[in-house]
Amino acid sequence: MIYPTHTWFRQFITALVSIVALSLPGVVTADTLVAWDFSSLDYTALADNSPLSNPILSPSAATTSPGVTVSDLTSQGLLSSVGNLIAGEGNFKNWDVGGDGINDNYLEYTIEAAGPDKISLDELQVTVWRNGGGAPNGYAFDVSVDGGDYAPFGTVLTDDLAGDKIFDTFTFNDNISDAATLGIRFTPRNAGAGSTGNLHIIGLAAMGTLVPEPSSLLLLLMGLLPLHFLRR
């Protein structure tokens, strides 16, 4: 009885171990899953308080990680544009109708993992500035996992500045794992100042990892590994 020592067999085992290792979640690093670019947006020809039409942006305006697809970016509710518009930014109002602190309207998109892979979501970002004291000073995101109910992602962040025309990026931290699809809503709300006024937005982003799922073939090959130690 002998142990298999053929070169091809050793190469097969080495390649198999490498493939399996690359398929494990632990080797996947954090990445920008989706980053929206507002530079193609141009509302300059619209009159003040014009109702917005969907979509706000198409998937071609988003940079995505390999293996991730994204839907249109759409508006929900009574969002409208306002005067003094600048090309390359979204200028939206009527977020928190009535100023009761309950969000009424939002921007929304969906990201999806290709095939059997799963998404782990760690951060959401918005790059924004408030036009004035009438704009909501609370920013938030709500997320739906695989078509379920929307729930807050992280906590509401407040913005005490208004009218400075300086874009700031607000980062929301939380963790959602093992998701095939994620519905993401940017949901400004009254956090003690402002209600329906306008926000200038030039970016939305989602950060996390795309975790490969071992295929049936890989699982079968992993089961064959003990054969290396059997005697003929």
Considering only residues 207 and 3, tell me which one the structure prediction assigns the higher pLDDT: 207
- pLDDT (average), residues 172-196: 94
- pLDDT (average), residues 143-170: 96
Write down the pTM of the prediction: 0.80
Residue 92 near residue 75 (C-beta atoms within 8 A)? yes
Residue 66 has pLDDT above 80, yes or no: yes
By the 10 Å C-beta count (0-12 exposed, 13-18 middle, 19+ buried), 210 is classed as buried
The pLDDT value recorded for residue 42 is 93
Name the nearest CA neighbour of 110 among 86, 83, 143: 143
Give CA–CA dist 229/227, Å, rounded.
5
Per-residue pLDDT band for 14 (boundaries 50, 70, 90) equals very low
Residue 65 has pLDDT above 80, yes or no: yes
The pLDDT value recorded for residue 231 is 47
Mean pLDDT comparison of 17-21, 195-199, 220-224, highest-scoring range: 195-199
* Backbone CA torsion sign across 44, 48, 53, 56: positive
DSSP labels, the chain: ------HHHHHHHHHHHHHHHHTSGGGPPPEEEEEEE-TT---TTSPTTPBP-S-SB-GGGEEE-TTEEE--BEEESS-EE-SS--TTSEEEE--STTSSSS---EEEEEEEESTT-EEEEEEEEEEEEE-STTS--EE-EEEEETT---EE-S--EE----S----EEEEEEEEEEEESEEEEEE--B-SSS-SS--EEEEEEEEEEEEEPPPPHHHHHHHHHGGGGG---
For 30-212, CATH gives 2.60.120.200
Mean pLDDT comparison of 16-25, 86-95, 148-157, highest-scoring range: 148-157
Residue 91 near residue 80 (C-beta atoms within 8 A)? no
Q: How far is CA 68 from the centre of its chain?
A: 10
Extents of the domains making up the chain: 1-23+214-232, 30-212
- Tokens for 143? 């997320």
Give CA–CA dist 191/198, Å, rounded.
15
Give CA–CA dist 124/176, Å, rounded.
11
